[in-house]
A and B are shown apart, each in its own frame.
Chain A
Amino acid sequence: MGDRSRLCSVWLGSETGILKGVSLSRKQAFNFCNMSHLSREQEVRALCWGDPAESELLVGSVDGSVKTFSVEKGSFTETRRCGDPADGCFSGLAVLSGSALVTCVESGTVRVWREDSGEPVTELHAGKNVSRMRQSPVHRHKVGTGGKENGLKIWDLEKPEQPVFTAKNLRDDWLDLRQPYWVRDLAFIPDSDRVVTCSGYHQVHVFDPSTPQRRPVLQLSFGEYPLTALSLAPGGNTVVVGNTHGQVAMLDLRTGLVCGALKGLSGGVRGLQCHPSQPVVASCGLDRFLRIHSLDDRRLQHKVYLKSRLNCLLLASRDPEDKGTVDGICQEVKEEDEEEDEVWDTMERVGDTGEQMKRKSTEEEEGEQQQKKKSKMKRKKGQD
């Protein structure tokens, strides 16, 4: 179990409560769950890394429990009760330094839990109907929340009484009617204080808390359907958004234009994440597929069928296509050498030929194969 979980570079949570790990290099998907104890109560709503080294995953379910999954061991190590299912499902999960856990539920309560106690250390109320809570990657104690008719609020967890920044709604439109807004997803832009949000009314807003302007600094529009997921590309200037119809597009934050669309999804997008270093974006949704697109040429690189509807996903920071750790490969080579040595030891020595065979290790075999290939090529050229 542990070796399978170490291979996985993409983790997904599904509606049936199964945590799925996908290894792209091997094109295999693994289910990490107890098949006899499946229930819809365990539906996974939020996923996040337990620590910066990415050796643990935190899985938040509908019934209010947060389970810790260890990537090394390949199994669930711990379960914590973090809230009541009556409050609503988890809309955000984050980890503070020092093994403190931040959870946010749909009714708007953001709680900080410590490992030892069953009661939250800090609690703050972010309004009603919070759809998403995200943690700033730079300042770990800052979180942003947003929801239906509940604007973006940035909170500092050390001072939970007042939000650091509250967004103001857009100006009334040309008929003097109030513009509705519904923040579905948000992201913190890494180099500055700015926050990008996408709304259920097919708009993307950028807010800048360092300026006195509380209204959005930039406003973009895409499509006609609610945008459900958002992710920042590594450059910092492009943002990838997905909507309920399965349309995924890259928008440029400087010009406000659509750079390109990523095709292939046929169902609503539930999770989107860009890889931190490679120009690759992973998307999952209600059509039960995980798709990996490359951001440069917008081609579909991988498509994996996972049999349940997918709610959220997490990408590992390492290269998604690498074939396991370096240690693993070295071990394999050493094992092969040892086995071969044993085989040749048991065989009878036939003068020189025995020694020659013994000397053959895997590297030499490879070298010979390469030489054979080269000679074959040469012969082919000669025939022409």
Chain B
Amino acid sequence: NFMSPEGAAKKSGADQEEVEVKMEKTEAEAAFPPTFSVSEIKNKQRRHLMFMKLKQEKRKQKIQLKKKKKKEREALGDKAPPKEVPKTIENQRVYDETTVDPEDEEVRFDEGTDEFSAYFNGLTNPKVLITTSDRPRGRTVKFCEQLATVIPNAHVYYRRGLALKRIIPQCIARNFTYLMVINEDRKVPNGLVLCHLPDGPTAHFKVSSVRLRKEMKRRGKDPTEHFPEVILNNFSTRLGHSIGRLFAALFPQDPQFVGRQVATFHNQRDFIFFRFHRYIFKNEKKVGIQELGPRFTLKLRSLQKGTFDSKFGEYEWVLKRHEMDACRRKFQL
């Protein structure tokens, strides 16, 4: 009696009806589930065996299917249907209704007259103040110094426990256009507050994966004083546009590129990856790049209208994890 259900199941994993019938006969239970699943075997070792067999069967079938398809494809030759594209989360992204249409007049007017219009019309040059939270430690200090070499016209100041709301009017008086505060936790930078002055939006990011220059493999020499080019990838929604402009206004505008340095902000799945490279065109089609400078990833946590005021400021966008985690294919930037 012990052998018959096992024996029956061993014959073929796909033959469910036979097993069903045999199980009925041997066990004679009143309520019987229509499908037989491996999880119903109470004995752990036997259940493990059955599961392994099931997996092997499935793998065999999959390989057979692949071989068949490959043969068919070769047989058809040129007439074969095109290869199917595998589904990825980026492919399956839910269409966001706030995606900016390049010809939209209203959005164009909105962007043309927002807080960055002074920079994009060429009226101001960026001047960045980089500071940290109070009493920074090794990695954060080095990170700040390296950032200051990457961003032209940046000055690093030690934060002597001063309140940000008091620093901001002084910065505005000295013609700074950006305030960048790197927050540190347990000797590692983990947050970034980027505040556009005089009245611009304040973005708060979570910083992760910081790699300083000496940790980079095959890196080039230190960056020079030339202004880098800026590449902003994949900022498609309205919020993405605002953040993209926030990053773009950090660097001076100069259409005549001098120096072959480029800073890239690449947005993928709501994470923004920052890389800094030096490129050289070997010929018309080939480029060689070497990575210099720090690399880090950012995730936007909130965008506040107006300068830094976490208590009384009005937020344009706030990351609400539980509400936004409901759909894995929906992204905000």
A interface residue numbers (CB < 8 A to B): 15-16, 18, 31, 35, 38-40, 200, 225-226, 228, 244-246, 263-264, 266-268, 270, 286-288, 305, 307-309
A228 touches which of B110, B314, B323 (Cβ 8 Å): B314
B residues sitting closer than 8 Å to A (CB atoms) are 97-98, 104-107, 109-110, 113, 238, 305, 311-318, 320, 323
Chain B residue at minimal CB-CB distance from A33: B106
Minimal beta-carbon separation of B239 from chain A (angstroms): 8
Question: Which B residue sits closest to A309, measured CB to CB?
Answer: B316
Q: Write the nearest CB–CB distance from B102 to chain A, whole angstroms.
A: 13
A35-B106, A267-B317, A268-B314 known; 8 new pairs, CB 8 Å cut-off, are: A31-B106, A40-B113, A228-B314, A267-B316, A268-B315, A286-B305, A288-B98, A307-B107
Residues of chain A contacted by B317 (CB below 8 angstroms)? 266-267, 286-287
Rounded to whole angstroms, the CA-CA distance of A317 and B315 in the bound complex is: 30
Question: Bound state CA distance, A35 and B311, in angstroms?
Answer: 36
A244 and B238 form a contact (CB under 8 A)? no
> Are B98 and A244 interface neighbours, CB within 8 A?
no
Question: A16-B110, A307-B238 in contact; A35/B105 too (CB < 8 A)?
Answer: yes
Q: Across the interface, which residues of B come within 8 angstroms of A35, CB to CB?
A: 105-106
Given the known interface contacts A40-B113, A268-B305, A286-B305, the answer about A246 and B238 at a Cβ–Cβ threshold of 8 Å is no
Give complex CA distance A246, B314 in Å: 9
- Is A305 within 8 A of B97, CB to CB? yes
Report whether A244 and B315 are in contact in the complex, using a CB–CB cutoff of 8 Å.
Answer: yes
A38 touching B305, Cβ below 8 Å: no
Are A305 and B98 within 8 A (Cβ)?
Answer: yes
Question: Can you list 16 A-B pairs with a CB-CB distance of less than 8 A?
Answer: A16-B109, A31-B106, A35-B105, A225-B311, A244-B314, A246-B315, A246-B318, A263-B323, A267-B317, A267-B318, A286-B314, A286-B315, A286-B316, A307-B106, A307-B107, A307-B238
Q: A246 to B313: give the CA distance in the assembly, Å.
A: 12
Asked if A287 and B316 sit within 8 Å, CB to CB, the answer is: yes
Chain A residues within 8 Å of B238, by CB: 288, 307
> Quick check: B314 and A16 within 8 Å, CB to CB?
no
Q: Is the CB of B318 within 8 A of A245?
A: yes
How many angstroms between the C-alpha atoms of A39 and B305 in the bound complex?
Answer: 19
What are the nearest 8 A-B pairs in CB distance?
A: A268-B314, A286-B316, A244-B314, A305-B97, A307-B106, A267-B316, A268-B315, A40-B113
SS class, residues of chain A in contact with chain B: loop
- Which residues on A sit within 8 Å (CB–CB) of B305? 268, 286
* Inter-subunit contact B323/A244 (CB<8 Å): no
> How far is it, in angstroms, between the C-alpha of A263 and the C-alpha of B305 when the chains are bound?
21
- Cross-chain contact A307 with B110 (CB below 8 angstroms): yes
- Asked if A200 and B312 sit within 8 Å, CB to CB, the answer is yes
**Nearest-Cβ distance from residue B254 to partner chain A, whole angstroms:** 28
A185 to chain B, nearest CB (A): 14
A26 to B110: give the CA distance in the assembly, Å. 26
By CB atoms of chain A within 10 A, which of B313, B318, B320, B323 has the most?
Answer: B318
Residue of B nearest to A35 (CB): B105
Check if A245 sits within 8 Å of B312, measured CB to CB: no
Q: What is the chain B residue whose CB lies nearest that of A286?
A: B316
**Contact of A268 with B110 at beta-carbon distance under 8 Å, contacts A305-B97, A305-B98, A307-B104 already known:** no
Output the least CB separation between A379 and chain B (Å). Answer: 30
Chain A residue contacts of B113, Cβ below 8 A? 16, 39-40
Chain B residues near A308: list those with CB within 8 A.
106, 110
CA A245 to CA B318, docked complex, whole Å = 7
Separation of A264 and B323 alpha carbons in the complex (Å): 7
A307–B103 CA distance with the chains assembled, in angstroms: 13
CA A16 to CA B105, docked complex, whole Å: 11
A18 to B108, CA, bound (A): 14
| Contact status A38-B109, CB under 8 Å | yes
- CB closest chain-B residue, reference A269: B314
Q: Which residues of A contact B314 (CB under 8 A)?
A: 228, 244, 267-268, 270, 286
| Cα distance A228–B305 in the bound complex, in angstroms | 14
Q: Which residues of A contact B105 (CB under 8 A)?
A: 35
CA distance in complex: A211, B130 (Å): 56
B311 neighbours in A (Cβ, 8 Å): 225-226
Which one of A18, A246, A266, A309 has the highest number of Cβ atoms from chain B below 10 Å of its Cβ? Answer: A266
Residue pair B315, A18 in contact (C-beta under 8 Å): no
